[in-house]
Amino acid sequence: MTSIPAEFSLIYQHFRPLAGHGALDLGDDAAVFAPPPGRELVVAADAMVAGVHFLPDDPADLIARKLLRSNLSDLAAMGATPLGYLLTVSVRHDTPDAWFAGFAAGLAADQAEFGLTLLGGDTTSTPGPASLSLTILGTVAPGSALRRTGARPGDGVWVTGTIGDGALGLLAATGRLSDPDGFLARRYRLPEPRVALGQRLAGIAAAAMDVSDGLVQDLGHLCRGGGLAAEIEAARVPLSAAARAAVAAEPALLARCLSGGDDYELLLAVPDARAEALCVAAASCGVQVTRIGAFTTGAPTVSVRGPDGAPMALAAGGWSHFA
C-alpha cells in the first residue's frame, strides 16, 4: 500500500517537469497562484479527439503541440499574453511510456517557445480514441482584450499568414494530395499561433478571432458579431506556394482552402486608417498580413468573389461537429 500507482508514476515522470510556479508539483488537488496584479484574465478551452482533430498515428509530440497551439491561437485572437494551462489526457490503458514521453517533450518545446507552464490536469484511461482537452490562461491589460464584436462598415478584412494549408495538409497527410516536401502536412500538424502579433493589436484591430473552422464560416462570426456583411476576393486570399501549386493542378481545391479548417491564423477587422500600423506591427513579428476584402452594411452575410470576378458558391460553410 506504499506503492505509487502507475497513473501517478506517469504524471510524476513526464508531466511534473513541465509544472510551473503555483502547480505545487502537480501533487495537490489543485494549483494555487496569485494572478498578475492589474491584469484581466483570459481563459479558453479546446478539445481534440484522435481521428477527428488529428490522425491517430501522428507523432505524440506534434499532437501535444497542436493541442497547445490551438489554444494559444485563442489567446492570440484576444490579444492575450500566455500564462499557463491545464491538461486532461484520456488514452488507452496500454499506451506506451514512449508516447507520454513524446507528448511531454512536445509540450516542453512549446512551453519554452511561447512562455507558459503546466498548472494541473488529469490523466485517465479510455477504451476509445485518445481524447485530449486543454484549458489555457492568459492575461490582458484591463479593457484591451480583442473581441469578435466591433467591426464597422468599411473596415478591411485582414488575415495573417496563409490560408488553406491546414485543410490541404489533412489531404496530404492522408495520402490524398501530393505534398513533395511535406510542407502542407506539417502545417496541418503544427499550426503557428500568432501570439506575439496578437499582443500588439490593441488599438489597431476593431475585431479579431482566429480561423479554426474555415475562413468563410469564421468570417461569418465576425459579421454576426458586428451586425454587418463582408465581401472578400478569393484571388486576394494568401496561399502558400504549396497551396498555389495544388490549386493550379486542381482548381476545385480553392474552395477547400476557403472553407476548410485548421488554419489557426488571425482574422481581423482593421479600419483603413490603421492599416499601416497593422503592417508595422506584423513586420516587427515577422508575420505576413493581407487585406482580402472589406466589411459592408447589410445582413450578416459573407460574399466571396471568385478568381473570375463572379460570385463564388462554396459547398460547405465550414467545419461543424454536428449535422
Please tell me the number of Cα atoms within 13 Å of 14 on its side-chain side. Answer: 26
User: 128 vs 309, which CB is nearer to a second copy?
Assistant: 128
Sign of the CA dihedral with 228 first, then 263, 85, and 117 last: negative
- Least separation in angstroms between residue 108's CB and a second copy is 19
Taking the complex as a whole, how short is the minimal distance between the CB of residue 46 and a second copy, in angstroms? 5
Closer residue to a second copy (CB): 10 or 246? 10
Beta bridge partners, 137, equal 43, 84
Taking the complex as a whole, how short is the minimal distance between the CB of residue 4 and a second copy, in angstroms? Answer: 8
d(CA 205, CA 259): 23
Q: How far is CA 43 from CA 118, 135, 292, in A?
A: 14, 7, 29
199 φ/ψ angles, rounded to the nearest 5 degrees: -70, -10
Contacts of 307 (CB under 8 A, 6+ apart): 234, 235, 254
Cell 498555389 found at: 244
Nearer to a second copy, 30 or 241 (CB): 30
Q: Shortest gap between Cβ of 167 and a second copy (angstroms)?
A: 16
| Between 42 and 289, CB nearer to a second copy | 42
Question: 257 and 172 in contact (C-beta within 8 Å)?
Answer: no
Minimum Å distance from CB 231 to a second copy?
A: 12
CB nearer a second copy, residue 209 or residue 287: 209
